[in-house]
Amino acid sequence: KKGWSPQQNLFYGFLTYVLVGFLLLLIPLFSKVHAPALDHLFIATSAVSTTGLVTISIFDTYNFFGQFIVMALFQLGGIGYLSFTTFMILSTTRKITVWHKKILSTEFTLPNTIKINDFLKSVILFTLIMETLGAILFFIAFKNEGMPTLEAVWSSIFHSISTFCTAGFSLFNDGFTGYVDNHFINIIISMLAISGSLGFIVITDFGMWIKHKAHKLSFTTKIIFYGFVLLLAFGTTFFYFFEPSITSLQGDSRFLSAFFQCMSAMTTVGFNTVDFGAFSQAMLIICIFLMYIGASPSGTAGGIKITTLTAILAIVKSRLQGSKNVTFLGKKIPMERLYIATSAFIFYTSLIVIGTFLITFTNDLKLDDIVFEVSSALGTVGISRGITSDLNTFGKWVIIFLMFIGRLGVLTFGLAIWARKSTNENNEILIEDIAV
């Protein structure tokens, strides 16, 4: 709609998806058993935000059609309603309006060097290829485990999309804990989730790099890639050596599950092969830290993103060295970008504190479980210590808000709500600003 800022369009767009999804899920035709309306709203928000937290079992509550609606919601949420609608426009008019390009650059936070149209085609193509490939591999894996063919078909499609969109919804009530020793399934999930979460931008950049030897990887891609590998090694090492529920595992399973749980928190896919409820306090902190960061700004992951972390680290490092300019790996980071990164950091951290306080204030649950749940919701991760269905009505509303804000991005959310009515020129500024 004209007159709205790009941020407001995203806000109302996601809100519309949530509400339509909620109304569809309310229809008794799609449910096996009756569930309270608030739980349907929770599931709709969780799906659109690709979080994967659930207050009711997806498999036990919804029939095939209900499950299909949930899948459609996280597919839409995952690709982003803008890339989807713009694809519609593209395929019918073969021309994106200037205004739609602006929205896209808000949604995907692209540097100007990559062209919008090429990018969008790659997004859709990449998504389709990965999800199809994922579904085929899942099907083979599930058949190997002796699942009936029809069930395996549906399960493989559902879990492939759920993994690539880092939604983390599962048709199994205990997640993937039954497959902790299945190397194949562990690898399928890891590859799909990493691809989706690292983001189209990084993958496109890599793709061009592989195709054309002349193409140089962008600074952003390098930062994201190195940051991701470093954090993954860091988390996996801690889980492997210090998490009792993982050190007790034998052989390959020990490394695999350390890697899987870390990958799950970082990519914010949110699947689990061991029970997070059994995690030790110290490893919970590592886990919360990983969820807090997330992965790439152009992917499906939540969190403050590796790029923001980089800016934050650069600020502190430069400050402590008493240097006036903020540099990272020798490159000077523009003041404006630092301003955005710090705003995101402060706002994100405040939301976690406020969310934690509100739930602690109204629910008789343990503080560590609550911080974990809140971080998981705002980071759109979806792992839980098992308290989601124990939350009271107010607590569920808090998590619903956090998931929604987390998917939208804290700054986009803030700008949608509080931004002053602005001229076209200001809109340009807003868009440039949000590119962290």
Cα 374 vs. chain centroid, distance in angstroms?
A: 14
Residue 229 CB: number of other CB atoms within 10 A? 10
Q: Any contact of residue 324 with a second copy (CB under 8 A)?
A: yes
Q: Is 348 exposed, middle or buried (0-12, 13-18, 19+ CB in 10 A)?
A: buried
Residue 294 CB: number of other CB atoms within 10 A? 30
Q: Any contact of residue 418 with a second copy (CB under 8 A)?
A: yes
Residue 52 interacts, among K ion, a second copy, none and using kind-specific CB cut-offs from 5 to 8 Å, with K ion
For the bound state, the minimum distance from the C-beta of residue 393 to a second copy, rounded and expressed in Å, comes to 17
Residue 129 interacts, among K ion, a second copy, none and using kind-specific CB cut-offs from 5 to 8 Å, with none
For the bound state, the minimum distance from the C-beta of residue 87 to K ion, rounded and expressed in Å, comes to 23
Q: Any contact of residue 361 with a second copy (CB under 8 A)?
A: yes
Residue 335 interacts, among a second copy, K ion, none and using kind-specific CB cut-offs from 5 to 8 Å, with a second copy
Site string for a second copy, 252-291 (x = CB under 8 A): -----------------------------xx-xxx--x--
CA 50 to CA 289: how far, in whole Å?
19
What DSSP letter does each residue of 308-334 carry, written as one string? HHHHHHHHHHHHHTT-SS-EETTEEPP
Place of tokens 């402060």: 346
Q: Which of residues 339-358 bind a second copy (CB under 8 A)?
A: 339-340, 342-343, 345-347, 349-350, 353, 356-357
Chain residues that interact with K ion, rule: CB under 5 A:
52, 166, 168, 268, 270, 382
Contact call for residues 228 and 295 (beta carbons, < 8 A): yes
Q: Any contact of residue 325 with a second copy (CB under 8 A)?
A: no
Residue 168 interacts, among a second copy, K ion, none and using kind-specific CB cut-offs from 5 to 8 Å, with K ion
Considering only residues 63, 316, 329, 386, which one is a binding residue for a second copy as defined by CB under 8 A?
316
Give which of 336, 314, 313 is closest to 324, Cα–Cα.
314
Give which of 182, 191, 181 is closest to 160, Cα–Cα.
191
Contact call for residues 237 and 225 (beta carbons, < 8 A): no
Contact residues toward a second copy (CB under 8 A) are 5, 242, 281-282, 284-286, 289, 312, 315-316, 319-324, 335, 338-340, 342-343, 345-347, 349-350, 353, 356-357, 360-361, 367-368, 411, 414-415, 417-420, 422, 426, 429-430, 433
